[in-house]
Structure 1
Amino acid sequence: MTIREAEAQWQGSLKEGSGRLRVGSGVFEGAYSFPSRFENGPGTNPEELIAAAHAGCFSMALSAILGREGYTPARIHTIAKAHLGATAAGPTITRIELETEASVAGLAAGDFERLAQTAKESCLVSRALAGVAVITLKARLVETATDH
C-alpha cells in the first residue's frame, strides 16, 4: 500500500492567524490564511489543493483509459474548479467542475466524451471525494508556554 503525506502548520486565531501547507515530497509548500481560503487573499487553500489533485488524477486516469482503447494522447489539459459554499453544516465543497481537453489522433468526439466520463467516475480522487469510508484521527496535545 502506498501512503502519501502532507502537513499543515497553523498559528493564531481563525481570522487573524496564518499557516503553511507542505506536501510530503517537498515539491510544494505554500502559505494559507482565512483570506486565502474564504475570500480572495493571497496564498493557497485546501480546496485549491483538492482541485489540483482532482485535475491531476483525472488526467492520468483518462490517459490510462485511452491507452487501454489503443490511443496515446499527445496532450490532456484539465482544469478542476472546487466550489466552496455555505451549507447548514458550515462551509462545504458543494461542487467540483472538471473541464478537460485532449489531443488524441484518430478518436471520435463521441468516443472521447464516453471515455472521459469513465475517467471521471473511476479516478481515485473522484472516488475519494464521493465519500471516504474511514477517516482516522490521532490527536495529541502538547504543552504550551501560556495556557488560555
Structure 2
Amino acid sequence: MTEKTATVHWEGPGKKGQGQISTETAALKAYPYGFGSRFGDDRTGSNPEELLGAAHAACFTMAFSFACEKAGFATVSVDTRASVRLAQQGDGFLIDRIALTLSAKVPGLDEAQFQQLAAGAKQNCPLSKALASVPNITLSATLLD
C-alpha cells in the first residue's frame, strides 16, 4: 500500500483569504490559491478542480499505459486532458462533469482494442473509482498513427 500527503495553509476570510498548497514530494510547495484562481480570472494560482483534473489525467494515463502493456502493446506516447466542471447547486457547488480526452500512439493496436483498453482504464483507474459520485465522466479517445 501507498499513502501520499498534501497540506494546505489558509489565511483570511472567504473571498479575500489566500491559501497555499504543498505536497510531500514538494512538486507543489506553498503554491497559491484563492477565490480569484478558483472562480475568477486570476491565473497566478491554482484551484482544487485543476489539481483534481491533473490527478485524474495522470492516473488514467498510467492505467491506460499499463493496460496496453498487459495486452502486449507498448505505448509510444499518451496525452490526456481532463476538464473538470464546477457547477453551482443551490447555495453550494459540485463537480458535475469530468471530460477525459486521450490521444495515444500505440503501434500494432487496432481501433476496437484501443477503445476497449481506454474504456477499461477509465473504469478501473483508482481516481475514476474515487470520483464515482461525479454524475458524468466522459472519455474521447483517439488512436494516432
1:89–1:67 Cα change, 3 Å: farther
Query: How far has the Cα of 1:27 moved from its partner?
Result: 1.6
Question: What is the distance in 1 between the residues matched to 2:48 and 2:9?
Answer: 13
Superposed, 1:136-147 pairs within 5 Å as: none
Q: Which runs of 4+ in 1 moved over 4 A?
A: none
Measure the CA separation in 1 of the matches of 2:95 and 2:21.
Answer: 19
Equivalent residue runs for 1:2-17 within 5 Å: 2-17=2-17
Letter in 1 for 2:51: L
Whichever residue aligns with residue 71 of structure 2, its letter is E
- Rg: which structure is higher? 1
Q: Normalization by structure 1: what TM-score?
A: 0.85
SS of match in other structure, 2:96? strand
Structure 2 equivalent of residue 62 of structure 1? 64
Distance 2:49 2:24 in 1: 18
1:40 aligned partner, one-letter code:
D
- Deviation for aligned residue 1:40: 2.1
CA distance change for structure 1 residues 89 and 107 in 2, over 3 Å: closer, same or farther?
Answer: farther
Mapped to 1, the partners of 2:56 and 2:74 lie a distance apart of 21
Taking CA–CA contacts closer than 8 Å with sequence separation of 6 or more, which of the two structures ends up with the larger relative contact order? Answer: 2
**Greater strand proportion:** 2
* 2:136 equivalent in structure 1: none
Percentage identity across paired residues of the two chains: 39
1:90-133 deviation digits (Å, cap 9, x = unpaired)? 111110000010000011112111110000000010001115xx
Report what 2:121 is aligned to.
119
Letter in 2 for 1:8: V
Report the counterpart of residue 103 of structure 1 in structure 2. Answer: 105
Structure 1: 5+ residue stretches without partners: 132-148
Corresponding position of 2:38: 37
Partner residue, 1:52 = 54
Amino acid at match of 2:14: L
Partner SS for 1:91: strand
SS at match of 1:71: coil
1:15-34 equivalences in 2 (<5 Å): 15-29=15-29, 30-34=31-35
Secondary structure at 1:94 match in 2: strand
1:72 matched to 2:42? The reply is no
Q: Extract unaligned runs of 5+ from structure 2.
A: 134-145
Q: Secondary structure at the match of 1:51?
A: helix
Q: In structure 1, the residue corresponding to 2:4 is in which secondary structure?
A: coil
